[in-house]
Structure 1
Amino acid sequence: MRIISWNIQWGRGADGRVDLGRTIAAIGETGGADVICLQEVAQSFPGLPGGHREDGVAILSEAFPDHEPVFGPGVDVPDGRGGRARFGNLILSRLPVGQVFRHLLPWPVDPGVPGMQRCCIEVVAQAPSGPLRVLTTHLEYYSQRQRAAQVRALRALQDEVAAHARAAAVGKESNPIFAARPRPSSAVLCGDFNCEPGSAEYAQMRADPRADVPEWRDAWEVRHRGREHAPTVGLHGAEWPGRKYCCDYVWVSEDLAPRVEDVSIAANTAASDHQPVLLELRD
């Protein structure tokens, strides 16, 4: 099973030019994936640098017709023309998709700091080995306080799902809305976390295990133990960030750690200011 995670900056490359065709080609050059997780996907959003109100959701969905699209906007506002402008995360899954969840993440007040509503999309994909949750997110850049709150929320979500997975269905309810559906605690969580290895937020994601909850493991550390994280930004001269470092991760629940075959960075493409991160899991 192969998963790609990539902050595509609405199709804007290191040269400042928006070209979603280039984005699509870069995904193809990685060899493609069963699940493609994209951050900073814009839909008819005016004013984005280099953009022309492209409907990134429609363009990317059309480019991968054998993948089911699931979009989750964190920002959803009027577009000034009677429609909606949206900005968020997109999952494209070649695997059958069961339940879908769109989680708005905490956004505590941090006066004087720019920010936006952030979200996390979750799908329950039917992998060859059984149901597997795949989540993608993009945490706050400017505010460490907001980012820390968002990490806490992601950990609390894992607690909640693990508790539901342990609990037996209660009562008899004929309404199909109440039907029990697969949602395992086994999961892959990927995206742009806007923090570096060694930061407080990174350490918070790797906090001590809790009873009956499969904890998050950094898949890079699982596969490349002791090796410094490869940089995921700053490689191709974009106006940001001006230096190379890692802020994009793939986390796996600890029960999946033995199945991590490889984690790599597609370092050659300049189709965004971030690089794609690729995960391979043994079935």
Structure 2
Amino acid sequence: MRIVSLNAWGGRLHEPLMPYLVDIDADVLCLQEVVRTLDAESEWLVYRDHGVELLQRANLFEELKAALPAHDAFFSPVARGDLFDGDRRLQSEFGLATFVRRTYPIIGQAVGFIHGEFSADGWGPHPRSRNAHCIRLFDYEHGYPITIAQMHGLRDIEGKGDKPARRHQADALVELIRQVRQDGERLVVCGDFNVLPGSVTFEILGSLGLVDLVTSRGHGDTRTSHYRKEPRFADYMLVTPDIEVINFDPVAEPEVSDHRALLLDLR
């Protein structure tokens, strides 16, 4: 089984992003920062926030859904707010997307908020709401279930250090996973956590037997050249000891976001 986790950065590097996500041939694709705008006429919209303007691919979720016809597609928005097509305001949803190859039946799942609540009337104040998606699959070839969870951790303008809200989101993620996973089963947790390697997040996730592959294997960078700040940790992938890791790679090339894709081959 191949699992890929990536902060898609709103599809800003759309040209290399789309073929990469098709060609990488993931069985499970966990994406953060995905946009869906149902009534958009343009392919690109603009996010505006206190003088900052960022291009967003208007219907990245729908484009990926069309490009991955062998996968079941799930979209889990955290909020609906305004994006702009020139001066025209469009209500757009923003959140997580999960794609699962149909040969792996989904036998359980849950979506929940790990920080804040759904905002239907704007993006909300910082730090904005965050959610997680947890799925339980059955691997016919090997004859066992496996649970996979992704989250997008809250962004704090004061940095990635531990705060009560980050402890709360880790506790909430563990609770969500326990709703879906059966005790003793294989577990993978991934996403853009927005925390530093020494965060209490890893202690809390360790209660499920999880170990992070980024730090434990000596990888020092989960960012691309499009991100120019330090520190360069944001994305993580954790597994339980019963996961046989065939290959794990924070992918440096091609650059399809300001985050690296995390690629895990397991059995």
Same fold (TM over 0.5): yes
Aligned partners of 1:53 and 1:35: how far apart in 2?
A: 22
Does 1:57 find its partner at 2:61?
A: yes
Q: 1:37, CA displacement in angstroms?
A: 0.7
Gaps in structure 2 of 5+ consecutive residues: 48-52, 118-124
Q: 2:153·2:193 contact (CA, 8 Å) conserved in 1?
A: yes
Q: 1:74·1:88 contact (CA, 8 Å) conserved in 2?
A: yes
Q: 1:189, CA displacement in angstroms?
A: 1.1
Q: 1:68·1:97 contact (CA, 8 Å) conserved in 2?
A: no
Q: 1:204, CA displacement in angstroms?
A: 3.6
Q: 1:96, CA displacement in angstroms?
A: 2.5
Q: 1:196·1:202 contact (CA, 8 Å) conserved in 2?
A: no
What per-residue deviation string (whole Å, max 9, x for no partner) do you get for residues 192-223 of structure 1?
Answer: 011121233334433xx4xxxx422213456x
Q: 1:157, CA displacement in angstroms?
A: 3.2
What per-residue deviation string (whole Å, max 9, x for no partner) do you get for residues 141-191 of structure 1?
Answer: 2073322210111223344556xx36xxxxxxxxxxxxxxxxx74321110
Q: 1:247, CA displacement in angstroms?
A: 1.7
135, 150, 168: which is aligned to 1:149?
A: 168
Does 1:35 find its partner at 2:28?
A: yes
Asked which structure has the greater CA Rg, the reply is: 1
Aligned pairs for 1:1-283 within 5 A: 1-13=1-13, 19=14, 21-29=15-23, 31-44=24-37, 47-48=46-47, 49-51=53-55, 54-77=58-81, 84-94=91-101, 95-107=104-116, 114-127=126-139, 128-129=141-142, 130-142=144-156, 144-161=163-180, 165=182, 185-206=185-206, 209=207, 214-220=208-214, 224=217, 228-233=218-223, 235-236=224-225, 238=226, 240-243=227-230, 245-256=232-243, 259-282=244-267
Q: 1:219·1:260 contact (CA, 8 Å) conserved in 2?
A: no
Aligned partners of 2:112 and 2:255: how far apart in 1?
A: 30
Aligned partners of 1:247 and 1:62: how far apart in 2?
A: 29
Aligned to 2:50: none
- Percent identity of the aligned residues? 26
Q: Closer, same or farther in 2 for the Cα pair 1:117/1:68, shift >3 Å?
A: same
What per-residue deviation string (whole Å, max 9, x for no partner) do you get for residues 63-122 of structure 1?
Answer: 1111110111111347798985211111111123233321111339xxxx8221111011
Aligned partners of 1:135 and 1:192: how far apart in 2?
A: 12
Aligned partners of 2:134 and 2:90: how far apart in 1?
A: 26
Write 1 or 2 for the structure with the bigger share of strand. Answer: 2
Aligned partners of 1:79 and 1:244: how far apart in 2?
A: 30
Aligned partners of 2:89 and 2:199: how far apart in 1?
A: 43
Q: Which amino acid aligns with 2:245?
A: V
SS in 1 for 2:55: coil
Q: 1:52, CA displacement in angstroms?
A: 5.7
Q: 1:71·1:121 contact (CA, 8 Å) conserved in 2?
A: no
Aligned partners of 1:117 and 1:78: how far apart in 2?
A: 16
Q: Closer, same or farther in 2 for the Cα pair 1:99/1:242, shift >3 Å?
A: same
